[in-house]
Chains A and B, each alone.
Chain A
């Protein structure tokens, strides 16, 4: 039984693993995303993990837990971590939690997400 509204795809280049999440991140979808990213991360053991948020259309605090959790997973194996292209909504959540100061946030070309 699955009602997945969220997916993740992987790309590796120069020992950097990029996990691109798409769809809605909530408590329901977070578990599968977490398991998929950790499985790939612990298998490949790259130098750096980048979680790409460009295609995330909804996120609540469960997404904060997911991001912080992946940062910890990366730390466990001495791997770097960065968050790529969080939209305005996600940035507001990161700001609220003070998470924006904990890890690197990279922006790559303007995402088409709505602007307030």
Chain B
């Protein structure tokens, strides 16, 4: 039996990739989640998976605009990458070059918000966490924030 090893799981390259740079304007919240939804639609996600992804992306992008670039309203860029790996594994990163987060653990606590006047509920990170399989937040004060989300869809690329 000469079965060739197909498992290069460790450092596999993405099967497909999208990179998006958008100005930090609130109209782009919808643009961003719609673009990501369109890109991942080739994987034939369920309606529920698609809703999860759109909502999680919307949270991350909104945070760049209302928090990351709060000191420079109307300025700044949001960097979004969506990578598709074997077995319908999605990796989405949303990055800003804004003010950064001093205490990430505190920021991730449900209901914690630094902007109650803006009618924020402090649930953004909790939503991202709940609607994806894994959430990683990297941040440096004065440099910016990167949010990484992973989600494996129930379908495979074979079906495309």
Contacts and interface: CB of A to CB of B under 8 A. Distances in A.
Given A27-B62, A60-B59, A69-B119, A116 B27 contact: no
Contacts of B26: 26-28
A115 B111 CA distance: 27
Given A27-B66, A62-B62, A97-B110, A89 B51 contact: yes
Interface string A65-80: 1101100000000000
A28 B62 CA distance: 9
B143 interface: no
A61 interface: yes
Given A60-B59, A96-B127, A96-B130, A65 B30 contact: no
Interface residues of B, number: 26
B103 interface: no
A64 B110 CA distance: 13
B30 A61 contact: no
Nearest to A116: B48
Nearest to B46: A116
Interface in A22-52: 24, 26-28, 30, 34
21 contacts: A24-B30, A27-B26, A27-B62, A30-B119, A58-B33, A58-B55, A60-B55, A60-B124, A61-B124, A64-B123, A65-B119, A65-B120, A65-B121, A68-B121, A69-B119, A89-B55, A96-B127, A96-B130, A97-B123, A97-B126, A116-B48
Interface of B: 26-27, 29-30, 33, 47-48, 51, 54-55, 58-59, 62, 65-66, 110-111, 118-121, 123-124, 126-127, 130
